[in-house]
Copies of this chain bind each other. A is one copy, B any other.
Amino acid sequence: MDHLMREVRAFAEARDWQQFHTPKNLAMALAGEVGELLAEFQWLTPEQSAQVMSDLEAGVRVKAEIGDVMIYLTRLADVLGIDLTDAALTKLNEVAVRYPVDEARGSAAKR
């Protein structure tokens, strides 16, 4: 993770792109890439989506889109001074309290 963050930062700095990399702009870029990821799944049934990596061409595209999303998420977190893993683990602990195992089992109901 730290290695990736430094690589993405070096990539941006070498191109003098820090000026474009405000949190606002990076959040938009992240959303744009997630939109491309959605497009890979939009017409698939859930079952087909579970097999998408068996399709060589689709699998390559999905991995590339996941890569794009991760690049922008990493860059956004870097610019905000947020540790991605820490943010995710902290949130996971909060969600675990809100959805206790006994009550949440097998249910997708929102709380």
Contact = CB atoms under 8 A, between A and B. Distances in A.
Interface in A1-47: 1, 3-4, 7-8, 11, 14-17, 19-20, 22-25, 27-47
Nearest to A107: B15
A46 B43 contact: no
Q: State the oligomeric state as a number of copies.
A: 4
The size bracket of the interface on A is 35 or more
A84 B67 CA distance: 7
Contacts of A1: 1, 85
23 contacts: A1-B1, A15-B106, A20-B43, A22-B46, A25-B43, A25-B46, A27-B34, A27-B37, A29-B39, A29-B42, A30-B69, A32-B36, A32-B42, A33-B35, A35-B39, A46-B46, A50-B79, A52-B80, A63-B90, A67-B87, A70-B84, A70-B85, A70-B88
